[in-house]
Amino acid sequence: GAALSQKFKELKGMGKKKKVAIVGGGLSGLACAKYLVDAGHEPIVLEGRDVLGGKVSAWQDKDGDWIETGLHIFFGAYPNMMNLFAELDIEDRLQWKVHKMIFAMQELPGEFTTFDFMKGIPAPLNFGLAILLNQKMLSLPEKLQTAPPLIPMLIEGQDFIDAQDELSVLDFMRKYGMPERINEEVFISMAKALDFIDPDKLSMTVVLTAMNRFLNETDGLQMAFLDGNQPDRLCAPMADHVKAGGGEVRMKARLKEFVLNDDGSVKCLKMTNGEEIVADEYVSAVPVDVMKRLLPKKWSNMPFFHQIQNLEGIPVINIHLWFDRKLQNVDHLCFSRSPLLSVYADMSTTCKEYYDEEKSMLELVFAPCSPLAGGNTNWIAKSNQEIVDATMKELERLFPLEIGPGSPDGVGAKLLKHAVVKTPRSVYAAIPGRNKYRPSQATPISNFTLAGDWTSQKFLGSMEGAVLGGKLAAEVVTDKAIYGGPTKGIKKIVPDVVKEANAM
Ligand code: FAD
């Protein structure tokens, strides 16, 4: 992380200054622009919506309350994100929580159990110890049976991890004889938190990648909440940095199509308002589903671009519930371990800007939301009221004394209002066998580069992955300006796709 940031600064002034048009003002597009400015180039970010941030965007309702696209957690093991905060001098905006993980107990409504990370114990021992010391989730024999299959990961590293991509989490567990209960106790909540998906659908590579990233750093799993809404607290400082460095950030600037030269390179961007934007270099930082739609015909049969047809976004729903009183006070993220929900937090406690001493505002991630992700119900197509009603039913188990018939007055906390945000296509669905189709940032098109959390980078579809994807795209553009081409080459063209394409 830090080394690449440094590289941009060192290369500033070398090579020709490039005007770079970046499509998409999510974290990846903004990060790309930020580092291009640092390297002395002139980016222009073109965001289609009237708000920056994409999947971290947020807006206010008529009462001034913030509605977020997603409940977002930052981890200690997000090196590029942490560098970014430091470089923008906004580190104080991360509200770090006590180093532990909190899980709702499945059979004991209202009770929680924790993995506690002890100070002074280095990784990965601190994680092993946190699990061993937890008496409520797994028995000792179960814990001991979990460890051996994970050892090759610590020894062989990324090669072993990548090789498990064809297996689902459940396949992997069965192959290595891990007890099924580990699935119920740990992997369901992990899979839903990592990719909004059930473990029988999720690639084992995702779980291993997360473990490898998180467990190798002592504070890797420590969590932070941003102190307020992401557009103001994170996107604005990124945009300000870009503008101060001579770049531009436009909103309500939506790409309609890439206009090509005869040789297949980009001639200009045709925007929906008819404007044509000409630049030296072009970067796409849109989600994979949008990229598939925008792909020019001329590119779509090239093996490099053809492979992205194998990727698609997974649906997820983010719910906000405002209550008339304060619920049980937990200043942290909770893993609900309930069938319909993933993680949740009481934002009136965890987040400075949403702080309220008297009333709770729960933000909850609803997953899985469609049969692609697990379960039989296509929740993403249901009405907001149906989704809220189902959520309230699950909350009766998580807050048995405060919500629903179990509470002292038989009714409990009153729901004042709700907001439901559906994202039908969010991060790429990390189902088995997908990782190999994630393309490099460098493409076979001379003046076109890819960014976005779904491009090839060693973090998953996450904020860290988005920032790293944008940073790697900025590196490709910077290297081209100096050396005439990317220094890292165009990788990840899958052999079977190449064969298929050559046969066409
Ligand atoms: P996006 O944020 O999707 O940005 C793409 C941008 O392109 C958007 O702003 C879009 O409007 C714009 N665009 C699209 N089409 C056009 C066009 N034609 N012209 C111009 N602009 C266009 N990650 C974590 O690390 N931790 C978490 O706890 C976490 N929780 C999440 C919870 C939810 C509910 C969701 C949905 C996501 C969560 N994520 C989390 C994932 C994280 O939000 C994403 O990985 C990341 O924000 C993706 O950034 P991006 O820039 O790659 O894509």
Q: Residue 480 maps to which CATH number?
A: 3.50.50.60
Q: pLDDT at position 199, please?
A: 92
417 & 283 share domain? no
Within-domain flag for 142 = yes
46 CB within 6 A, ligand 1:
yes
Ligand 1 centre to CA of 208 (Å) is: 23
φ/ψ of residue 67, rounded to 5: -110, 125
Q: Report angle CA 104, 418, 318 to the nearest 5 degrees.
A: 55
283 lines ligand 1 (CB under 6 A): no
The number of folded domains in the chain is 3
**Is residue 85 a part of any domain in this protein?**
no
Q: Which atom of ligand 1 is nearest to the CA of 29?
A: 51
pLDDT of 404 above 80: yes
Q: What is the mean pLDDT of residues 444-470?
A: 96
Contacts of 161-164 spanning 24+ positions with Cβ under 8 A: 161/205, 161/208, 161/209, 161/212, 162/205, 162/435, 164/203, 164/204, 164/205, 164/208
Residue 17, domain member (yes or no): yes
Q: Is 412 in the pocket of ligand 1 (CB under 6 A)?
A: no
Looking at residue 500, its pLDDT comes to: 40
pLDDT at 157: 83
Ramachandran category for residue 187: left, alpha or beta (phi over 0 → left; psi -120 to 50 → alpha): alpha
Q: Which of 177, 176, 201 is nearest to 187 (CA)?
A: 201
Inside any domain, residue 114: no
* CATH code where residue 153 lies: 1.10.3110
Task: Using the atom order of ligand 1, give the atom closest to the CA of residue 462.
Answer: 45
Here the CATH number for the domain that contains residue 416 is 3.90.660.10
**Top mutation candidate among 50, 97, 463 for ligand 1, by most atoms within 8 Å of CB:** 463
Q: Ligand 1 within 6 A of 461 CB?
A: yes
Instruction: Determine the average pLDDT of the residues in 182-211.
Output: 91
Does any ligand 1 atom lie closer than 6 A to the CB of residue 226? no
ipTM surpasses cut 0.95: yes
Instruction: Please give the Cα distance from 293 to 302 (Å, whole number).
Output: 15
Q: Give nearest CA residue, ligand 1 atom 10.
A: 54
Could you identify the atom of ligand 1 that is nearest to the CA of residue 463? 25
What is the reported pLDDT for 296? 98
The DSSP code for 313 is B
Residue whose CA is closest, atom 53 of ligand 1? 26
**Ligand 1 mutation target, pool 55, 194, 317, most atoms within 8 A of CB:** 55
72 residue type, one letter: H
Instruction: Please state the atom number of ligand 1 nearest to the C-alpha of residue 453.
Output: 52
What is the Cα–Cα distance from 401 to 422, expressed in whole angstroms? Answer: 29
In terms of domains, do 267 and 302 share one?
A: yes
Cα 139 to middle of ligand 1, angstroms? 39
CA of 11 to the centre of ligand 1 (A): 29
Instruction: Tell me, using a 6 A CB cutoff, whether residue 69 lines ligand 1.
Output: yes
Percent of the chain predicted with pLDDT > 90: 76
Q: Within this chain, do residues 159 and 308 fall inside the same structural domain, yes or no? A: no
Average pLDDT over residues 458-476: 96
269 and 303 share one domain: yes
Query: Is residue 374 in a domain?
Result: yes
Tell me how far apart the terminal alpha carbons of the chain are, to the nearest angstrom: 41
Does 307 share its domain with 359? no
Kindly tell me if the per-residue pLDDT of 372 is higher than 60: yes
Regarding the beta carbon of 234 and ligand 1, being less than 6 Å apart is answered no
Which phi and psi angles does 243 have, rounded to 5°? -65, -40
Q: Which runs of consecutive H residues, i.e. helices, occur in 295-351?
A: 297-300, 303-306, 347-350
Asked if residue 323 and residue 415 are part of one domain, the reply reads yes
Nearest CA to ligand 1 atom 29: 72
In this prediction, residue 335 has a pLDDT band, given cuts at 50, 70 and 90, of very high
Contact 363 CB / ligand 1 (< 6 Å): no
**Ligand 1 and 315: CB distance under 6 A:** no
Our answer on whether the CB atom of 423 is closer than 6 Å to any ligand 1 atom is yes
Which residues, other chains included, contact 244 with Cβ-Cβ below 8 Å and sequence gap of 6+?
none
Tell me if 25 sits within 8 A of 492, measured CB to CB: no
SS (H, E, C) 85-143: HHHCCCHHHEEECCCEEEEECCCCCCCEEEEECCCCCCCCHHHHHHHHHCCCCCCHHHH
Identify the DSSP state of 228: S
pLDDT digits (tens, 9 = 90+) for 1-38: 899 999 999 999 888 999 999 999 999 999 999 999 99
Tell me, yes or no, whether 322 and 382 share the same domain. yes
Q: 238 and 280 in one domain?
A: yes
287 lines ligand 1 (CB under 6 A): yes
pLDDT reported for residue 491: 57
Does residue 351 surpass a pLDDT of 50? yes
| Most confident among 70-74, 162-166, 190-194, 486-490 (mean pLDDT) | 70-74
Question: Which among 423, 458, 474 is the end of a domain?
Answer: 423
Note whether 321 and 415 are same-domain residues. yes
Ligand 1 centroid–CA 60 distance in Å is 18
336 Cα to the center of ligand 1, angstroms: 24
Give the separation between CA 413 and CA 420, rounded to whole angstroms: 19
Q: Whose CA is nearest to atom 52 of ligand 1?
A: 452
Domain co-membership, 320 together with 389: yes
Could you tell me if the CB of 462 is within 6 A of ligand 1? yes
Mean pLDDT calculated for residue range 293-300: 97
What are the φ/ψ torsions at residue 212 (nearest 5 degrees)? -60, -45
Are 244 and 305 part of one and the same domain? yes
Last residue of a domain, one of 367, 388, 423: 423
* pLDDT the model gives residue 448: 98
Among the listed residues 65, 66, 4, 68, the one whose alpha carbon sits nearest the alpha carbon of residue 36: 4
Work out which ligand 1 atom sits closest to the CA atom of 81.
Answer: 25
Q: What's the domain range around 295?
A: 2-53+230-312+434-503
422 Cβ below 6 A of ligand 1: no
pLDDT of residue 469: 98
CA dist., res. 502 & res. 456, Å (int): 23
Q: Quote the pLDDT of residue 185.
A: 84
Angle at 347 between CA 345 and CA 351, to 5 degrees: 120
Least confident piece of the model among 105-109, 295-299, 413-417:
105-109
Residue 132's pLDDT band (cuts 50, 70, 90): confident
Q: Find all residues with CB under 8 Å of 400, minimum gap 6, and list them.
A: 109, 110, 406, 407
Across the chain, what does the average pLDDT equal? 92
Asked if residue 124 has a cis previous peptide bond (ω within 30° of 0), the answer is: yes
Tell me how far the alpha carbon of residue 225 lies from the centroid of ligand 1, in angstroms.
17
Question: Given a cut of 50, is residue 495 above it in pLDDT?
Answer: no
Segment 414-428 mean pLDDT: 97
Q: How far is the CA of 285 from the centre of ligand 1 (A)?
A: 9
Supply the pLDDT for residue 489: 62
Q: What angle do CA 20, 26, 27 make, to 5 degrees?
A: 90
